[in-house]
Amino acid sequence: MYTFPHKNILDADQFTQEDINYIIEKTNQMRILEKQGRAFGLLRGKILASLFFEASTRTRLSFESAMERLAGRVISTVGFQFSSISKGETLFDTMKMVEAYSDIAVIRHPIEGSSRIAGAAVKIPVINAGDGAGQHPTQALLDMYTIISEKKEIDGLTIGFIGDLKYGRTIHSLIKLLRYYKVHLHLISPKELYLIDSYKKDLEKYPITYEETGDIKAMWECDVIYVTRIQEERFPDYKEYEKLKETYKVNKEMILASKKDTTVLHPLPRVNELSTDVDDLPNAAYFRQAKYGVFVRMTLLCLCLGVEIPKAE
């Protein structure tokens, strides 16, 4: 019998293929429970600390919505300026307080590795909602969930990642989940923003294959394209960002020239890399992707807290 072995969710690296399948299966269950009005109550009496020290709309609101939909409560702090970190308090001390006030914490922070420090400081479960250019594992799980919902099978797909593969943490996490599958990747980015070597090296041990290119035409061969924003806030040199920010703009015409039924994903927010004229195509799945995030996060909150998700009938 499988039991979910994770208390914290810090890095997509921690998940086995069995874990991923289990999360997908439980999310399907959760989606039905939510529809039947049976999810409300699963986390009654529990408090989520929502700690967002970096900009966020979707991730914060979807975690908070997930907790509320389970009848849990949320306490939150947004931005350094309103937390005692601005007075010089360490993340360790902040987490000690959070532990006293809540049952589970979700944290977004601009420094890579910060969620690991947060997780090590406390006994309550900690979920990484994005640590600098590092990882964003819950986004990757909802991306996987969306791909499966749209395409049914992961094996056999050709997937194109377009944009900022160097600083884009959602890609860093999603690649770690996809590596177990017979998937071919087109890594499409300007040379300056190629995927970091350590990620590429890791892929060599798995069934996944990849090729790198700067040529956007590689998207024509893809079953799924995953478009990302050039991560302005991560560039040490702003001039470099200015030089690269307009590299790609995916539009309707380009999608229509691609494989039939290419699924278009984007973690959002978009800036100018994905044209709004794509939105009305049936295969533009990014708003559905954001919506699925709530079900995935409802599931993860229960799993991390060791609360059983009842079978859906």
Interface residues for ligand NCD in 165-194 (CB under 6 A)?
169-170
Among 46, 69, 109, 136, binds ligand NCD (CB under 6 A): 136
Residue 297 burial (CB count, 10 A): 28
Note if 266 is an active site residue: no
Amino acid, res. 181 = Y
| Contact track, ligand NCD, 214-253, x by CB under 6 A | --------------xx------------------------
Spatial separation of the C-alpha atoms in residues 12 and 3, rounded to whole Å: 18
CB of 233 to ligand NCD, least distance (A): 9
Token pair 């970096």 is found at 54
- Told to check if 59 binds ligand NCD by CB under 6 A, we report yes
CA distance 203 to 195: 11
CA 4/CA 146 separation, integer angstroms: 21
109 binds ligand NCD (CB under 6 A): no
Distance CA 42, CA 298 (A): 10
User: What sign does the dihedral 179-181-187-188 (CA atoms) show?
Assistant: negative
Pull the structure tokens for residue 204.
């060599």
Instruction: Clarify whether 87 is annotated catalytic.
Output: yes
Q: Which is nearer to ligand NCD, 233 or 261 (CB)?
A: 233
Question: Shortest distance, CB of residue 54 to ligand NCD, whole angstroms?
Answer: 8
Given 136, 166, 169, 172, which residue is catalytic? 136
Side-chain-side CA neighbours of 183 within 13 Å: the count stands at: 27
Cα 135 from chain centroid (whole Å): 8
Q: Is 58 a catalytic residue?
A: yes
Instruction: Considering only residues 265 through 284, tell me which ones interact with ligand NCD, judged by CB under 6 A.
Output: 267-268
CB of 225 to ligand NCD, least distance (A): 15
**Residue 59 or residue 102: which is nearer to ligand NCD going by CB?**
59
Active site residues: 58-59, 87, 108, 136
Residues that bind ligand NCD (CB under 6 A): 58-59, 130, 136, 139, 169-170, 228-229, 267-268
